[in-house]
A and B are shown apart, each in its own frame.
Chain A
Amino acid sequence: MPISAAVVDKLRKKRDVAINGGGKDKLEERRKKGLMTARDRLDNLYDANTFQERGLYAEHNCTNFGMMGKSLPADGVVTGTGYVAGVPVAAFSQDFTVAGGSLGNIHAKKIVNLMDYALKAGLPIVGFMDSGGARIQEGVESLSGYGQVFFHNVLASGVVPQIAVIAGPCAGGAAYSPALTDFQIMIKKQANMFICGPDVIKAATGQTCTMEEVGSAAAHATISGNIHFVAENDTHAIQIVKQLLSYLPSNNLVDPPHKLPPTLSLTKHKSMEALVPEDPKAPLDMAAVIGKLFDANTFLEVQRDFAKNIIVGFARLKGMVVAIIANQPMVKAGTLDIDASDKAARFIRFANCFNIPIITLVDVPGFLPGLAQERGGIIRHGAKMLFAYSAATVPKITMILRKAYGGAYLAMCSKDLGADYVLAWPTAEIAVMGAEGAVKVLYRKEIAAAADPKAKEAELIADYRDKFASPYQAASKAMIDDIIEPADTRAALAMTLRNLLSKRETRPPKKHGNIPL
């Protein structure tokens, strides 16, 4: 006897109900508003017909506050695995049409089960956050659910890449799960993220503020630095996820998806010369340099709107995946400040977790002076860069374009912090401090005693600059490996990286270092 039609029919009916979440009408209403449903998001993320769901028939087990017998399909979250551009990825997507996407015990259990599976299989995890918050009817069980998700975020950190899309409200404790992932993408109009919203702030402190100031994508992208990308809408957010995944390995035990051509063409590109201003005080546009240096249209800038004095992002160099950290002299003279240090250090740590080679482009006049910086703890924040670079064992190539002064020179992956290969342009100025400052310290008496102190000072400055504001002193001490013409930069970096891909470096085992936080 074949399987009874009634049995199959029952399964199909159950599946149909569960798949429709909060009901067909609610799903349609969302689409009319231009929002994707939880399942639309996964359908758009995954290659056609590759999504394999887990936990579709899960139901809550709450009996309080009239919840008994009330059905919440899939308990408000869709979880499963599928393929993105042919690579397996785990994902969950909260369903706002089911009890506002609220997080209850089973909802959390589904997410945690998925994360456990992704950890075992070594799959990246993508989460779409669209939830009103804790399911209050479930009380502390819901709170505990958050705790378990956080714990698993941390277990997965550094093992598999984690990406969070803030696609709706993400309030209170819920905001901490995305915060524990590697990259956060926030959708402009429909998403908000905050610990305490304007009403709570008003009640607790009397301060008046708007949601725009507290929890918008713009506020997080520019000021708080909590997020990495801003998306126009669901489609754009998913494009960013896919683009990001294209640079990442599935887990920490494999290499990123380099696309190695069998040969390297080492053509000069003269157009690089036009980007180097003759006047050492005129800022060079690092964004333009990056555009020329790496494969066309492969640069994905991370945290573009935060701490613009440093640029970080992924790109390909002759097919090889690289993480770029570069000073931007067009903003705040390219100095390192608190925010820039935090931004760069976190990115370096990510690259090291996932075997992505680091290319550092240096044009830094120093750490930003100022009371706010000192009081804000630039010492411990700047130390993060020293720590992150020193602790990184991936290939580290440093290219000094122009200025490289003092502690900031060290912090930009100097040879002393373990750079494998350091290159410089002939325009590089590698020195402990600027000529003006150095001369004042070194020759205070001589200048005061001179017949014409101004002229004497100018003469000494020119002399100092000639001797020390160049790459040659550093090169003579073997602190840099080669001095090259700007036109040869792309070829030199590609050649070096190609032979560094096989780099291996081991350190003494320990639980973990103690990065200054």
Chain B
Amino acid sequence: MKKLRVTVEGKAYEVTVEILDQGPEGAPFNPQGVASAPAPAAPIVSAPIASASVSAPVSAAPAAAAAPAGPGSVVSQLAGKIVAINVKEGDAVKEGDVLLSVEAMKMNTYINAPRAGKVKKVNVAMGDAVNEGQSLIELE
């Protein structure tokens, strides 16, 4: 909690402010005793990339025996076993939805929807072994 004095059109108001979004908990350290550290600017980050033609590796892994990856394909990041299928054909999905889960390396790797869309086809069944780059789901 912080006490601030705000002057509006010549009239002073005393207000108490609670800082809710400060990243890690605990009051930020404040060596100069300044009322409030200057709000950190939005962090500078690398620009987003939206480019279909480079979204798949150029020298793609030798096409899996199963469904070849096409433009609407959601592919497996790594080789493993399908342990969860959360969608069925015809389902509408949002970007980031967890579509399936692949078990490999003592871990479940969630396969998220790369974009919003409708599930056209589910190429795999529970327990199937899949390869890296194999198409698991087709989005319309």
Residues of A within 8 A of B (CB): 188, 209-210, 212-213, 216-219, 221-223, 228-232, 236, 239-240, 242-243, 261-265, 267-271, 280-283, 291-301, 304-305, 318-319, 329-335, 365-366, 368-370, 372, 403, 405, 434, 436, 490
Chain B: interface residue total (CB-CB under 8 A): 39
Residue contact B45 to A301, C-beta cutoff 8 Å? yes
Contacts of B61 in A (CB 8 A): 372
List residues of chain A with CB within 8 A of the CB of B104: 333
| Given A222-B55, A292-B23, A293-B24; 12 other pairs, CB 8 A cutoff | A209-B58, A213-B53, A217-B47, A218-B50, A223-B58, A230-B48, A265-B29, A269-B26, A270-B25, A294-B24, A297-B41, A301-B46
| A246, closest chain B residue (CB) | B44
Task: Encode contact with A along B84-122: 1 for CB under 8 Å, 0 otherwise.
Answer: 000000000000000000011111111000000000000
Footprint of A on B, CB under 8 Å?
A: 22-29, 31, 40-51, 53-55, 57-58, 61, 77-79, 103-110, 132
Contact call B105/A365, Cβ cutoff below 8 A = yes
**A296 engages B109 (CB within 8 Å):** no
Closest 10 CB pairs of A and B: A296-B23, A267-B26, A297-B40, A333-B107, A269-B25, A218-B51, A365-B105, A243-B44, A333-B105, A230-B47
Closest beta carbon of chain A to B108's beta carbon, Å: 5
Question: Is A216 a contact of B51 with CB atoms below 8 Å?
Answer: yes
When distances are taken between beta carbons in the complex, the residues of chain B under 8 Å from A269 are 24-26
Nearest CB on A from B10, distance (A): 35
Q: A295 and B49: CB pair below 8 A? A: no
User: Do A261 and B43 have beta carbons less than 8 Å apart?
Assistant: no
* Inter-subunit contact A304/B46 (CB<8 Å): yes
| B110 contacts A365, C-beta separation under 8 Å | no
A168 to B103, CA, bound (A): 44
Q: Which residue of B lies closest to A334 (CB)?
A: B107
Cβ–Cβ contact B44 & A239, under 8 A: yes
A223, B54: Cβ atoms under 8 Å?
A: yes
Could you list 20 A-B pairs, sorted by A, with CB under 8 Å? A210-B53, A213-B53, A216-B54, A229-B46, A229-B47, A230-B46, A231-B46, A240-B44, A263-B29, A267-B27, A268-B25, A269-B26, A281-B108, A296-B23, A300-B44, A305-B46, A331-B109, A369-B79, A370-B78, A405-B106
A-chain residues with CB within 8 Å of residue B103 when the two chains form the complex: 281
